[in-house]
């Protein structure tokens, strides 16, 4: 089947178009600290504005428990959207109530409204199909068509992602189309050599991706907290570092399969071991063979890949034509343990080919470390959705759009 795109909706002038965006941005004391997801939504929104649609944006923010919480209000997002779109975005203080009805009724051709956080309604994420369907029907009263453009939520069967798309003429927005184009290149037509860089805390979060991509890649680089399970599988002691002992047999299986397939697994040769998990913790660079041979002994915690590993990873990345990266190499939020993540990000900016930052913590890391979005081939807006796609899973929010 073929994904339905904006063109399938025909003339949208004067029509109320509900757009499901992913505006789940990080906030600190009510201030947006990274507006990347808002900016990623602009191409679709501007296209609909130019076509004379009456745009009704819906999104979630954070994880409220099905009722309003001030700290999760989308009001700061409405203000930032107004700045980026260069026009006032009307903000409704509820999702399906009187304020939403008034905001939508007041729209003119080419104008925009943002409704309050979808997850202030329990029906959005309800496990009960009927409850989700009822909430979707309440949303549908505000639209003549539906555009799904929140790639970060397409792996969720939620009312505004799945049921709503079945109640109105629906299509994917430009962001989802762009994400799928990149993911297709990563899974079906990668230019080689093809390297995948995986980090983050738990190897269990990445097992599906490793299994699905192993037959497709040339080299796999392992960093982050998950590296210690790989090292343990190789027989190394890892001190008090994050370790999923129950995954060692699975990791051994992947190492054996990689050898059989001729895939190069690049593991760290050195790590930065800290006395404790803290920004100012005393730390040492240690070869992986002697992680516990520090002043901290077996209490030491590995918090980043070491400088030799960072250089080796950068070289492997530079020698690749396609690179997908998901997961920081260390605790990048602490300056002392950000070097590995910075080195990988820098290497991706030098790739002569397609470099993809796989959303989530990786996207947050590159921005926190001062890199610009346009230094990379693509920064995904959906960490979890990207990973599930790369695992070969079917995503309900895409299936309902014909994918």
State the DSSP string of 112-135: EEE---GGGSGGGT-SSHHHHHHH
Q: Is 361 annotated as a binding residue?
A: yes
Q: Is 206 annotated as a binding residue?
A: yes
Q: Is the pLDDT of residue 14 over 70?
A: yes
Contact 201, 277 (CB under 8 A): no
**Closest-CA residue to 209 (of 30, 21, 403, 387):** 387
C-alpha separations of 117 from 21, 334, 385 in Å: 11, 32, 20
Q: Is 60 annotated as a binding residue?
A: yes
Q: Is 109 annotated as a binding residue?
A: no
Q: Is the pLDDT of residue 148 over 90?
A: yes
With a pLDDT cut of 70, the percent of the chain lying above it is 100
Angle at 173 between CA 196 and CA 324, to 5 degrees: 5
Q: 37 catalytic, yes or no?
A: yes
Q: Is the pLDDT of residue 55 over 90?
A: yes
Q: Is the pLDDT of residue 359 over 80?
A: no
Q: Is 320 annotated as a binding residue?
A: no
Given 36, 360, 383, 397, the catalytic residue? 360
With a pLDDT cut of 90, the percent of the chain lying above it is 89
User: How far is the C-alpha of 96 from the C-alpha of 129, rounded, in Å?
Assistant: 19
Given 39, 80, 185, 202, the catalytic residue? 202
Contact 392, 188 (CB under 8 A): no
What's the mean pLDDT in 352-379?
92
Establish how many alpha carbons lie within 13 A of residue 392's alpha carbon, considering only the half-sphere containing its beta carbon: 11
Q: Is the pLDDT of residue 58 over 80?
A: yes
Q: Is the pLDDT of residue 392 over 90?
A: no
> Where residue 384 falls among pLDDT bands split at 50, 70, 90?
confident
What's the mean pLDDT in 266-289?
98
**Quick one: CATH architecture of 183-391?**
3-Layer(aba) Sandwich (3.40)
Q: 15 catalytic, yes or no?
A: no
Tally of CB atoms within 10 A around 167: 17
> Where residue 39 falls among pLDDT bands split at 50, 70, 90?
very high
Q: Is the pLDDT of residue 109 over 90?
A: yes
> Where residue 383 falls among pLDDT bands split at 50, 70, 90?
confident
Q: Look at 92-101, 117-126, 370-379, 386-395 and tell me which has the smallest mean pLDDT.
A: 386-395
Q: 253 catalytic, yes or no?
A: no
Given 4, 15, 20, 37, the catalytic residue? 37
> Where residue 304 falls among pLDDT bands split at 50, 70, 90?
very high
Given 110, 208, 384, 402, the catalytic residue? 384
Tally of CB atoms within 10 A around 245: 9
Helix (H) or strand (E) holding 89: strand 89-91
Q: Is the pLDDT of residue 202 over 90?
A: no
Residue 1: per-residue pLDDT: 56
Q: Look at 137-151, 227-241, 270-284, 361-375 and tell me which has the smallest mean pLDDT.
A: 361-375
Residues of the chain with CATH 3.40.50.1260: 6-174, 183-391
What's the mean pLDDT in 29-55?
96
What fold does the segment set 6-174 form as a domain?
Rossmann fold (3.40.50)
Q: Is 378 annotated as a binding residue?
A: no
Q: 383 catalytic, yes or no?
A: no
């Amino acid at each position: 089947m073929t994904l339905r795109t904006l063109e399938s909706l025909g003339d949208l002038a004067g029509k109320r178009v509900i757009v499901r965006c992913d505006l789940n941005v990080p906030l600190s004391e009510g201030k947006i600290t990274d507006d990347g997801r808002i900016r990623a939504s602009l191409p679709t929104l501007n296209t609909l504005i130019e076509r004379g649609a009456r745009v009704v944006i819906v999104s979630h923010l954070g994880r409220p428990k099905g009722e309003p919480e001030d700290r999760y209000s989308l009001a700061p997002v409405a203000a930032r959207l107004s700045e980026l779109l260069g026009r006032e975005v009307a903000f409704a203080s509820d999702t399906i109530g009187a304020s939403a009805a008034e905001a939508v009724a007041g729209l003119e051709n080419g104008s925009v409204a943002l409704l309050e956080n979808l997850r202030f309604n329990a029906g959005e994420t309800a496990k009960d199909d009927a409850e989700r369907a009822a909430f979707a029907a309440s949303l549908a009263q505000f639209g003549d068509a539906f555009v799904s453009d929140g790639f970060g939520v397409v792996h969720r069967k939620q009312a505004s992602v799945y049921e709503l798309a079945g109640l109105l003429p629906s299509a994917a927005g430009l962001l989802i189309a762009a994400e799928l184009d990149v993911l297709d290149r990563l899974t079906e037509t990668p230019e080689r050599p093809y390297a995948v860089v995986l980090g983050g805390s738990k190897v269990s979060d990445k097992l599906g991706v490793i299994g699905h991509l192993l037959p497709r890649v040339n080299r796999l680089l392992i960093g982050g907290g998950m590296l210690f399970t790989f090292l343990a599988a190789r027989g190394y002691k890892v001190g008090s570092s994050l370790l999923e002992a129950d995954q060692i047999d699975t990791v051994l299986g992947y190492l054996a399969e990689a050898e059989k397939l001729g895939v190069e697994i690049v593991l760290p040769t050195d790590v930065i071991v800290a006395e404790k998990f803290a920004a100012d913790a005393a730390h040492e660079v240690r070869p992986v063979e002697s992680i516990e041979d520090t002043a901290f002994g077996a209490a030491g915690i590995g918090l980043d890949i070491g400088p030799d590993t960072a250089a080796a990873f950068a070289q492997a990345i530079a020698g690749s034509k396609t690179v997908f990266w998901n997961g920081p190499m260390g605790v990048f939020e602490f300056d002392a343990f950000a070097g590995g993540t910075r080195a990988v990000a820098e290497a991706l900016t030098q790739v002569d080919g397609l470099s993809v930052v796989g959303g989530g913590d990786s996207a947050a890391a590159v921005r926190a470390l001062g890199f610009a979005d346009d230094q990379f081939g693509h920064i995904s807006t959906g960490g979890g959705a990207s990973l599930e796609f790369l695992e070969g899973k079917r995503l309900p929010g895409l299936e309902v759009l014909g994918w």
